[in-house]
Amino acid sequence: MIALEEHFAIPHTLDDSEQYANTAGASTVTAWSELRAKLLDLDAGRLAEMDAHGIERAILSINSPGIQGIPDTSTAIDVARRANDVLADAIARHPTRFSGFAALPMQDPDAAAAELTRSMRDLGFKGALVNGFSQLGPAHAVVYYDDPRYASFWSVAEQLGAPFYLHPRDPLASREPIYDGHPWLLGPVWAFAMETAIHALRLMASGLFDRHPRLTIILGHLGEGLPYNIWRVDHRLRKASRGMPARRPLTDYLRENVYLTTSGNFRTPTLMDAIAEVGVDRILFSVDYPFERTVDAVTWFKDLVLTDADRSAIAAENSAALFGFAPPPPEVTARQAF
């Protein structure tokens, strides 16, 4: 199995994740201590977790909001480079088990393009994972990546053949008062999906994929609700597009330019809907470790009623094809007991 929404942290980004520690059945201090240790571990503990559940390779990425939550551009550039170097060192120690997604300082599109190029050409990374919008300048100012300033960045990403994982982050409280007084709706409960789905729709509607038809975006959590809602989106746009730049129905881009992962969404009807909308060849197994338990993801996946071909495709073959990995040898597939 290959998993590709699997996170780590460096000291500069670590505290961003404290609010997402799972306190069910544990004290806040204990829960954060355990999550902290797992985020920082890029060696024995993480490998033991993978071994216990038949995960042969993990593509690792920085925790959220990570670089995107650093309003100062020069600091964002420096921390992104340091995070990528830490990850590159871990991959060098475990080259058959770990791969990497680049952290990018999207606050500066040229610097982001340069870091993506360095990460793929020099460090051997497999693309980038970016945690939603970037804060820029004043702490309440944000930028989304359909902004025209990213035209050259997207050209570089397409030329490099770099998949771009659009990962969630919480909206800023100053910009989204709808969550006021309802903190239980923030994070992975609801706000993550809504924020990321809207960002993905902005990219699709902007005409990005008309300009860059070979560009690939990845969305986690079985598409952040988009497979379930995309028909109605296009249905209403056919009635009134309001000058939308995209030349095709947004469903076309979802099916042709977007991959979906199972990260943190271990629900069979949701998976079946995603397969129906985008096809089984666009679904990639993932866990969302360490924010989700590997055992939950793997147990759910192995109990699914799927054909052997579909199970193998989602577990590893689709990812191997997308990222250029050699397919696992027969003895590995047998050991995973699909």
Query: Contact at 8 Å (CB) between 17 and 39?
Result: yes
Taking the complete model, does pTM exceed 0.85, yes or no?
yes
Given the residues 43, 170, 288, 296, the one annotated as active site: 288
Per-residue pLDDT of the chain (338 residues; tens, 9 = 90+): 999 999 999 999 999 998 888 777 777 888 889 999 999 999 999 999 999 999 999 999 999 999 999 999 999 999 999 999 999 999 999 999 999 999 999 999 999 999 999 999 999 999 999 999 999 988 689 999 999 999 999 999 999 999 999 999 999 988 889 999 999 999 999 999 999 999 999 999 999 999 999 999 999 999 999 999 999 999 999 999 899 999 999 999 999 999 999 999 999 999 999 999 999 999 999 999 999 999 999 999 999 999 999 999 999 999 999 999 986 665 554 445 44
Rounded CA separation 320/1 (Å): 10
Cα 278 to Cα 107: distance, rounded to the nearest angstrom: 31
CA distance 251 to 229: 10
User: Domains in the chain, start-ordered, CATH in brackets?
Assistant: 2-336 (3.20.20.140)
Q: Count CA within 13 A, CB hemisphere, residue 114.
A: 10
DSSP H/E element including 114: helix 109-121
- Helix or strand holding residue 332 (H, E): helix 330-336
Q: Residue 180 catalytic? A: no
> Which residue bears the tokens 């147990």?
299
